[in-house]
Structures are given as structure tokens and as C-alpha cells.
Amino acid sequence: MKAGDNRPKSGLPSASGQKDSLQGTGTTPGLETNKRAGIGGEPLQRTAAASTRYLKYALNLLIQPYQTVRGITSVHLPHALITMVVISLLSALYFVIRLEPLHIPFAATFIKPLFLMAITLAVSAALTAGLLRWTRAEKRWSFTFSRFGALLVPVAACLLLADLAALIALYGLSYLFFLAAILFLIIAVNVVLLSHPVSRLTVGRLDGMYSLFIVNAITLYLIYTTLYSTLLSAVQALFGGFMSMF
């Protein structure tokens, strides 16, 4: 070794060499970590933003349902569908809470009412939109569905209160909230239809009042079927052996 030669003997690069190589690639460890965190956080940010928008939408409809629904357009269709899903889940959850002490099978207390309530909401919305389209009062299906779903927000709120009341054993209050939810569902159908003159609901020679009556009657029948079928399944599951004797 020559005198004054202080270069490292090992094959490892010096600290300055590592820095130069990192600058040559254009990346740093901290920047790479931030990029990965940003990529992973984007779905969470979008979900949080969507949840905030829906909560604001629901709160406005709870405070002033009719005034707010006048500003609802087809753009709010996803919110309407979310509300229908929430109502189906909350109604099924109510039966689970009330019938859980009887040890009724999960399929009878949750799956069945969930399915039946989803059908009830879908058919009610389709009947409402179908009547308006048939009579040419409103041709846009998405617009009618959006308004109908918006008016269902009080239904979801009442079902949530019914579930909470049932959880703390306030059964009488839970029944009242559940009944209020049913009434709000009927009101939603009528508000959407009666936003047009009754004369516009005439189908052929069938007066508009009878068209309105038919839609309401079918909606009530579907609600009755949901309640009766769920409770009947629960009774059959509870007294299956005894009832099979008859």
C-alpha cells in the first residue's frame, strides 16, 4: 500500500456512494413508503367520503323529508338503493332480537324476513314507477326510484330505533317504532304518486283514485306477507313436532 492511500479495502460502497446511487434511481426509502401508504389509503378515503355524503343526505331527509326530496334527482339513485338495503337488514335484525330468546333458527328470523322485505321494497318501487310511466306522468324510472328511496330514510330511522328499543327490553316502544316504519313506507308510496295530479294516474277507464288504491293495497299485502310468513316460520320452528300432528 502506498503511503497516504486511505481508501477502504472492503468491497462495500461508501456512504457517499450509497447516497449517489439512491439519487441516481430518483427514489428514497421515505418517499417509497409514503407512496405505498397513499395507494393503500385511497380506498379508505373514498369510503369515508361516500359515508359522509350519505349521512349528510340522510340527515337532511330526516329533518325535512318533503322539502329535501323535491331536490332529489336521478344522481341520488345509489343512495336510494343503499337505504333499501339498510331497511331490509334492520327489519330482519328486529326479528332476530325479538325471537332470539326462543332459539329460533337463524334462517327463519333473519334470512327469510331479509329476503321478503327486499322484495316488498323492490315491488313497491317498481309499481310506483311503473304506474307513473304507464300514465306518462313520469317516464324516468331512475328518477322515481331515487325519490321513493329518499322518502324511505324515515323508515330506516324508525327501524333503527325499534331495534335499539328491543335490545334494552322496551318492547312496547319497539312495537310503536316498527309500526311507524310501516306507516312511513305507505306514506312514501303516496307522496311519490300524489306529487302528480290524481287525474294523471288514470289508466284507461280506471280512475286515478283506484290506481292509487291498487298500488297501496299491493304494498300493504306484501308487508302483511312479510310479517305473517316470518312469524309463521318462527312458530313452526318452535312447535314443529307438535304442529306436525295436525
- At 39 the pLDDT is 53
52: in domain: no
pLDDT digits (tens, 9 = 90+) for 40-91: 568 888 888 888 888 999 999 999 998 899 888 888 999 999 999 999 999 9
- At 62 the pLDDT is 92
What is the C-alpha to C-alpha distance for residues 64 and 87, in angstroms, rounded to an integer? 19
- At 49 the pLDDT is 84
Total count of domains within the chain: 1
Tell which wins on pLDDT, 31 or 149: 149
Say how many C-beta atoms besides its own lie within 10 A of residue 67's C-beta. 10
- At 9 the pLDDT is 47
20: in domain: no
Q: What is the chain's mean pLDDT, rounded?
A: 83
Give the DSSP H or E segment for 1: none
Tell which wins on pLDDT, 211 or 50: 211
- At 56 the pLDDT is 92
Check the CA dihedral 65-68-71-76 and report its sign. Answer: negative
Residue 233 phi/psi, 5-degree rounding, is -65, -40
- At 209 the pLDDT is 92
Cα–Cα distances in angstroms (integers) from residue 240 to residues 4, 114, 235, 244, 245, in the given order: 99, 22, 8, 6, 9
- Asked if pLDDT for residue 3 goes beyond 80, the answer is no
- At 119 the pLDDT is 95
Tell me the average pLDDT across 125-133: 93
Q: Are 124 and 189 in contact (CB under 8 A)?
A: yes
Residue 8 C-beta-side C-alpha neighbours within 13 Å = 8
Say how many C-beta atoms besides its own lie within 10 A of residue 132's C-beta. 22
What is the C-alpha to C-alpha distance for residues 124 and 185, in angstroms, rounded to an integer? 9
97: in domain: yes
Q: Which of 45-59, 116-130, 204-218 has the lowest mean pLDDT?
A: 45-59
pLDDT digits (tens, 9 = 90+) for 136-188: 888 889 999 999 999 999 999 999 999 999 999 898 999 999 999 999 999 99
- Asked if pLDDT for residue 240 goes beyond 60, the answer is yes
Q: Which amino acid is at 50?
A: A
Of 34, 163, 30, 155, nearest to 83 (Cα)?
A: 155
Check the CA dihedral 70-75-76-81 and report its sign. Answer: positive
> pTM of the prediction?
0.78
- Asked if pLDDT for residue 221 goes beyond 90, the answer is yes
What is the C-alpha to C-alpha distance for residues 180 and 136, in angstroms, rounded to an integer? 32
Say how many C-beta atoms besides its own lie within 10 A of residue 77's C-beta. 19
Q: At what angle do helices 77-99 and 208-238 cross, to 10 degrees?
A: 40
What is the grid cell recorded at 11? 468491497
Residue 48 phi/psi, 5-degree rounding, is -65, -40
Q: Which domain holds residue 177?
A: 59-239
Of 209, 232, 31, 227, nearest to 113 (Cα)?
A: 227
